[in-house]
Structure 1
Amino acid sequence: MQIVLILSLVAAAIGSGLVAGIFFAFSTFIMTAFSRIPAEQGIAAMNSINVTIVRSPFMALFVPTAILCLVIAVLAVINWRGGASALMLAGAALYVIASFLSTIIFNVPMNDALEKVSGNGAEAAALWATYLTDWTWWNHVRTVASLLASVAFVRALMIV
């Protein structure tokens, strides 16, 4: 059982760390670059990313890491190890709630709304301005949560 736990923590630390890096790129330069181009071009670029990402290797990282976090939470509770289990639960909660579920609850609906708007005109420009602010804010949440989850898993590995 110990080897399963260790391998799970290593995989979750790597998975959540990689996801944090992807989100970090969006938060620090991709969305800023999109804000500097005309709304029609930004909307087209983001819509293209949104179509591409669901068919990319990112999904083979993002979803399984969430599932792995649920497994880690169960392992933490079943075989309570004090501080290590608390870190495991914290990492799992950060990733599943603030990274994975916030994506489904906040970012995906904004992506769906963006897909429905025409790329030009006042309505599109207004939606794009709101999208840039709101989507990026939630992406910051996802970035920090994924990074903190990775740190929690690494720290749990150090004391398990």
Structure 2
Amino acid sequence: MIDRIALIATVVAAVGCGLVAGVLLAFSLSVLPGLASLPVSDAIAAMQRFNAAILNPLFLVLFVGTAVLSTLAAVLSASTSRGAPALVVAGAVLYVLGCFAITGVLNVPLNDALAAVDPGSTAAVEAWQNFTEKWTRCNNIRVVAATAACTVLILGQGRSALG
């Protein structure tokens, strides 16, 4: 029974990691480059709206739920006889530290600082440059971590799913 729950938690966590990676990748590939083509005041105002819009129940369940399921999968996989528990643990660590924690420690404070900026102020240009450089670098780390977590979680349960 624990083997089955571990497998389900791992598979759902892997899907969650992949979905989160996709959302974050879209920001790096299209949203930030698109905003870079706008006047700074418009870019700041748009990003402020994006940051407010992403805080919706569906995304929060996906983002937080993936952290919870990854952790549950890691704990349960340690007590199963199938799969590769070390890979499941590694996948959970990649997501929880490389995506979830970086969001809370780095991206959210940058979002909060940008939320306080008046897009039409004289300080807006400097604030935007500071934001985009740091935020994009952190976001790219989150993309890599969530993608790697997805891959490692799948590999960690590959033997269980196949046999």
Same fold (TM over 0.5): yes
In 2, Cα distance between equivalents of 1:113 and 1:80: 47
In 2, Cα distance between equivalents of 1:50 and 1:80: 43
Cα distance per residue 1:73-122 (max 9 Å; x no partner): 212334476x7111101100000001001000000000000011110233
Moved more, 96-105 or 115-124: 115-124
Match of 1:65 in 2: 66
Q: How many residues end up aligned between the 2 structures?
A: 159
The SS at the match of 2:119 is: coil
In the alignment, is residue 145 of structure 1 matched against residue 136 of structure 2?
no
In 1, Cα distance between equivalents of 2:57 and 2:128: 24
Match of 2:99 in 1: 99
> After the TM superposition, which residues 46-61 of structure 1 pair with which residues of structure 2 at under 5 Å, given as runs?
46-61=47-62
Offset of residue 52 of structure 1: 1.0
> After the TM superposition, which residues 1-160 of structure 1 pair with which residues of structure 2 at under 5 Å, given as runs?
1-79=2-80, 84-160=84-160
Letter matched to residue 32 of structure 1: P
In 2, Cα distance between equivalents of 1:79 and 1:3: 9
Letter matched to residue 15 of structure 1: G
Is the Cα contact below 8 Å between 2:7 and 2:157 reproduced in 1?
Answer: yes
TM-score by length of structure 1 reads 0.94
In 1, Cα distance between equivalents of 2:46 and 2:57: 16
| 5+ long unaligned stretches in structure 2 | none
In 2, Cα distance between equivalents of 1:136 and 1:96: 19
Provide the alpha-carbon RMSD of the alignment: 1.4
| 5+ long unaligned stretches in structure 1 | none
Matched residues, percent identical? 37
Q: Which runs of 4+ in 1 moved over 6 A?
A: none
